[in-house]
Amino acid sequence: MRMLKRLLQRLLIFGLGILCVWLIVFVVFETADRRLPWILAVGITYGIAAYIILPRAVRMGLKILHRKRVPSYTITGDGLPGDPVNVALIGTLQQLRAAFAALGWSEADGLSLASSWGMIRAFVLNSPYPTAPFSTLYLFGRGQDIGFQKAIDNSPRKRHHIRFWALSQTSARKTWGAADFWLNTERPSDHERALWVGAGTRDTGLSLTRLTFQITHATDSDTNAERDYIIGELRKNRSIEAEKAYQAGQRLRTERVNHYITDGEVILASLVPNND
């Protein structure tokens, strides 16, 4: 019965893929090509395919393949798998800011038209932008609460960066390891000693997303190495203590999440009190 169910799921996914190709090639492109210059038709077809048709198809496919596992990754604005969760720190917002400031990391600007244009300009000209904004990823039903970054070779194209979401320690203790942990949307106050759940990755240039071909930063697939780098830097600076490894997702081992390779481990550590 299980084999039959899996076969039907794969047939549904295959049929969904064929339908998407048909819509993109024989409906969107043919319609645009009849009414617009060829280069403009290609551009419009790409935009509709990458930002409308394929994201919706992927979301539908994920629902078909859903196995009721606790997720170990963030979610993009399109509802697709984002960066894996791999770091968790306990402390106040001020302690978190102080710890990364001591490492020479900058807090990311909020995402806006001005900051987005500044990032595009810096990326094209390869000029420094130490507080460049992050795209919004979602966890606990909201976008990141804060993010930090450090440019590599002073370039906006390459950087270490991490997003954080705050969660009440009381809620975390009650729900850690269960699906309810990821469904908690309540944000603790800035002065509360909270659990800061983080997703750290290293940007390496410009790329297209694997499933929908949207324009984005290229990211090093080895998020385990970036997690270990961030924790190592905090450890060397004596900003953390009492480290412990946890599994982010139930029944998840080493597997590929979008374009990432992750062992599913989250390193939990406490920020030292003298950073407050």
pTM: 0.69
- 191's CB contacts (< 8 A; 6+ apart) are 92, 93
CA distances from 20 to 26, 54, 167, 172 (A): 10, 7, 39, 40
Predicted pLDDT at 60: 63
Q: Which amino acid is at 85?
A: V
Residue 55 has a pLDDT of 66
| CB-based burial, 114-143: b 16+ in 10 Å, e otherwise | ebeebbeebbeeeeebbbbbbbbbbbbeeb
pLDDT in tens, 106-137: 999 987 888 878 887 887 788 888 898 888 88
Q: Which of 216, 210, 212 is nearest to 257 (CA)?
A: 210
Among 139, 78, 145, which residue's Cα sits nearest to residue 110?
A: 145
CA-closest candidate to residue 200, choices 93, 108, 65 = 108
pLDDT given for residue 27 in this prediction: 76
Residue with tokens 């499933």: 211
| pLDDT the model gives residue 97 | 96
pLDDT at 250: 38
What residues in the chain have per-residue pLDDT under 50? 66-70, 249-258
Q: How far apart are CA 149 and CA 42, in angstroms?
A: 36
Give the residue carrying structure tokens 């024989």: 26
Domain ranges of the chain: 2-64, 73-275
